[in-house]
Amino acid sequence: MNRKRYPIWLAIPGLLIYITIFVIPTFASFYFSMTTWNLKTAVFTGTENFRTFFTMTSTRAALINTAIYAVVTCSAKVIFGLLIARYVCSGIRSGNYLKIVIFSPTLLGNVVIGTAFQSVLEPTGIVNQALSAAGISAVRFLTDKSVALAACCAIDIWKGMGTAVIIFVAGLSAIPQDYYEASAIDGATDLKKFTKITLPLIVPTVNTVLTLSLIGGLRDYDLIYTLTGGGPGYSTEVIGSVVYKLFSRGSYGLATAGNVILFAIVSVIVFPLNSFVGKWEERL
Amino acid sequence: MVRKRSLLSKILEVIIVLVTVITHWIIFYFAIITSGKEKADAARLTLELPEKWNFLENYTYVLQYQNGALLKAFRNSMILTVSAILILVLAAASTAYLLQRRTGTIRAISNKLILAGLIVPAAVIPTYWMLDRLHIANTLMGLIAVEVATLFPFATMLYKGYVATIPVEIDEAAIIDGCGPFSLFWRVIFPMVKPITATVVILRSIVVYNDFQNPLYYMSGSGSQTVQLFVFSLKSAWTTDYGHLFAAAIIVSMPIIILYLFLNKKILEGMTAGAVKG
């Protein structure tokens, strides 16, 4: 009865596209990552690509930068996102305005954001004009090895904050107001309300924002690529940009090994994180 | 819950609103005035108004550049966005409905594969290899397929969650009325999942239109471009020509900005679909 009423062919078009374009290439990547490959013929070379990937200067820098980039942008989005969302929800008049403005960068393409910030952060750009008015000497934000990665993180946080705030606002609005009213009768302070009511009940939402921004931070590279192209030197190279560069110069096997490493990192971090935060949520 | 607000908190609010002027409005303002400046004026990168108002000249130049390459890229982006979203909505809704209603092994395996697709990064070069074997590498069709496959897991999860709230009794009633499996989906279920369709259409259109990573891999080798690829190529062609560069960036962002002006409430609501329980 079940089978006849819901014949599987209705799901076939969707599954066919997904399996052909996403699932099969994912499985194929494990094999191709162990080959020297020109898209037509693949010669099996075992773990050589992985050894190369971990020894090349550019790829090693990329592994470290990816970790920094993901952790910094993710924690900033979670912490500031929650604080801003709480402020937006605190019954202020400009709440709606703040939501709309903070979210607006999310709608722009990364190429457009990259273009805009490149000129804003130029040594003679408006940020440095403001700094020099304050008597601070010019900072080469995107071309100085010591600050370029930090600048990229800041721009990604600027862009992604909107999403975090919007999700947190929804999470906060889902907390029943009665809890706050009851605790107010019991004489709870604002700080107590935040730590004893808001924080425990917002854990599922924190989980969502944390997972989303961590995945994004680990695998997205296009904003960085348009801002710095991975430079200066290898100072803003991340796994995604390295894979793209290896792809464009035809090192398909090595690039796929980079992809598999990224796959492993994302899986190893995100899957346990989800169950860990899930358990924490149950305990509370 | 209305609370009397202190003067201090009102002052703080004004300060915070003013901060957004620095963090957001100045950059938008800078982009707009720069797009109306002549080359030398724009290269000074100041916040001053244009010496000579050059908006019309800059925008016409950008639109006519390389025999209207921007308009061609725009047409490609429109075909890409509309086709990918159309296929995505139909594919995800039907698959979600089937997987939600059925029991058995196929369902269990498909669910696992779709959940994993939410998390793991795409294997880009094997995907390119697959497109090559299907003879759609470096074509708009190949890119459409990639966009659908990339967005498929999340859209399917959204639809599945919603289909779960539709009682099976509705299916039964429709069958008694003589609905076959296809018309049950198309004429009964699909109209009922409209809220999710609206969310997917609005939000994922923006994502596809703005996408840069996928076109970079799967379209760079072709003669045609999407708007994002086009702006990226202008970025290296016009390194110091900020007036024209910003005019191009603004033209390209215009459709989304207009969409946001009219639909900001819907877009913000849609963002949280599937993100928050309850």
Which residues are CB-neighbours of B23 under 8 A, at least 6 positions away? A158
Chain A CA closest to residue B129? A39
pLDDT reading at B198 higher than 70: yes
pLDDT reading at B2 higher than 50: no
DSSP helix/strand/coil, B221: coil
A186-201 residue pLDDT tens = 888 888 888 888 888 8
Partners of A37 in the beta sheet? A42
Q: What is the pLDDT of residue B30?
A: 92
DSSP codes of every residue in B61-101: HHHHHHHHHHHHHHHHHHHHHHHHHHHHHHHHHHHHHHHHH
DSSP A42: E
Separation between Cα atoms, residue A147 and residue A166, nearest integer Å: 29
The domain ranges of chain A are 57-283
Instruction: Please provide the CATH number assigned to the domain covering A57-283.
Output: 1.10.3720.10
Separation between Cα atoms, residue A184 and residue A156, nearest integer Å: 38
Chain A CA closest to residue B230? A111
CB distance B147 to A49 below 8 Å: no
- Using a 10 angstrom Cβ sphere, with 0-12 exposed, 13-18 middle and 19 or more buried, the burial of residue A221 is buried
A66-102 residue pLDDT tens = 999 999 999 999 999 999 999 998 888 888 899 999 9
CB distance A151 to A141 below 8 Å: yes
The pLDDT-based confidence of A279 (bands split at 50, 70, 90) is low
Above pLDDT 90, what percent of chain B? 42
* Rounded mean pLDDT, A235-239: 92
Q: Which of A21-35, B84-98, B231-245 has the lowest mean pLDDT?
A: B231-245
The domain ranges of chain B are 74-271
pLDDT reading at A284 higher than 70: no
Nearest CA of chain B to the CA of A146: how many Å?
Answer: 23
Q: Do B24 and A7 touch (CB under 8 A)?
A: no
Q: What is the pLDDT of residue A198?
A: 86
Nearest CA of chain A to the CA of B30: how many Å?
Answer: 8
Please report the ipTM that was assigned to this predicted complex.
0.88
Higher pLDDT, A118 or A231: A118
* Rounded mean pLDDT, B64-84: 91
Please, what is the average pLDDT of chain A?
A: 88
Above pLDDT 90, what percent of chain A? 44
Q: Do B277 and A259 touch (CB under 8 A)?
A: no
Higher pLDDT, B51 or B85: B85
A92 to chain B, any CB pair closer than 8 A? The answer is yes
A181 to chain B, any CB pair closer than 8 A? The answer is yes
Tokens of B183: 């018309």
Please give the interface size between A and B, counted as residue pairs whose CB atoms are below 8 Å apart: 272
Q: Other C-beta atoms within 10 Å of A206: how many? A: 21
Residue type, A48: E
A131 to chain B, any CB pair closer than 8 A? The answer is no
Q: Do B126 and A32 touch (CB under 8 A)?
A: yes
- Using a 10 angstrom Cβ sphere, with 0-12 exposed, 13-18 middle and 19 or more buried, the burial of residue B105 is exposed
Q: What is the pLDDT of residue B251?
A: 93
Q: Do A19 and B97 touch (CB under 8 A)?
A: no
Q: What is the pLDDT of residue B79?
A: 95
Q: What is the pLDDT of residue B255?
A: 92
* Rounded mean pLDDT, A131-152: 89
Q: What is the pLDDT of residue B4?
A: 61
CB distance B88 to A13 below 8 Å: no
From residue A261, give the alpha-carbon distance in Å to each of A37, A56, B121: 17, 14, 10
Chain B CA closest to residue A91? B2
The pLDDT-based confidence of B277 (bands split at 50, 70, 90) is very low
CATH fold for domain B74-271: MetI-like fold (1.10.3720)
B157 contacts in chain A (CB < 8 Å) = none
From residue B119, give the alpha-carbon distance in Å to each of A66, B130, B237: 17, 21, 36
A55 to chain B, any CB pair closer than 8 A? The answer is no
Please, what is the average pLDDT of chain B?
A: 88
B114-127 residue pLDDT tens = 888 888 899 999 99
Q: Which of B45, B150, B227 sits opposite A119 (nearest CB)?
A: B45
pLDDT reading at A52 higher than 80: yes
Q: What is the pLDDT of residue B239?
A: 80
Candidates B41, B262, B276, B277, partner chain A, best to mutate (most A CBs within 10 A): B276
Q: What is the pLDDT of residue B224?
A: 81
Separation between Cα atoms, residue A266 and residue B115, nearest integer Å: 14
Q: What is the pLDDT of residue B62?
A: 87
Tokens of A172: 């906060």
Please state at what angle helix B124-133 crosses helix A24-32, rounded to 10 degrees.
110
* Rounded mean pLDDT, B243-264: 90
From residue A149, give the alpha-carbon distance in Å to each of A122, A237, B111, B267: 15, 9, 38, 31
* Rounded mean pLDDT, B161-167: 89
Nearest CA of chain A to the CA of B194: how many Å?
Answer: 18
Q: What is the pLDDT of residue A282?
A: 57
pLDDT reading at B278 higher than 60: no
Q: What is the pLDDT of residue B27?
A: 92
pLDDT reading at A1 higher than 60: no
Q: Do A219 and B121 touch (CB under 8 A)?
A: yes
Q: What is the pLDDT of residue B47?
A: 86
A2-25 residue pLDDT tens = 667 788 888 889 999 999 999 999
B90-107 residue pLDDT tens = 999 999 999 888 888 888
Q: What is the pLDDT of residue A2?
A: 67
Taking alpha carbons only, the member of A95, A105, A163 closest to residue B27 is: A105
**In A133-147, which positions are buried (b, 16+ CB within 10 angstroms) versus exposed (e)?**
eeeeeebbbbbeeeb
Separation between Cα atoms, residue B98 and residue B85, nearest integer Å: 20
A205 contacts in chain B (CB < 8 Å) = 275-276
Residue type, A131: L
Separation between Cα atoms, residue A166 and residue A177, nearest integer Å: 19
Q: Do A226 and B134 touch (CB under 8 A)?
A: no
Q: Do B150 and A22 touch (CB under 8 A)?
A: yes
Q: What is the pLDDT of residue B275?
A: 61
The pLDDT-based confidence of B274 (bands split at 50, 70, 90) is low
Q: What is the pLDDT of residue A283?
A: 54
Nearest CA of chain A to the CA of B126: how many Å?
Answer: 5
Which residues are CB-neighbours of A278 under 8 A, at least 6 positions away? A207
pLDDT reading at B129 higher than 80: yes
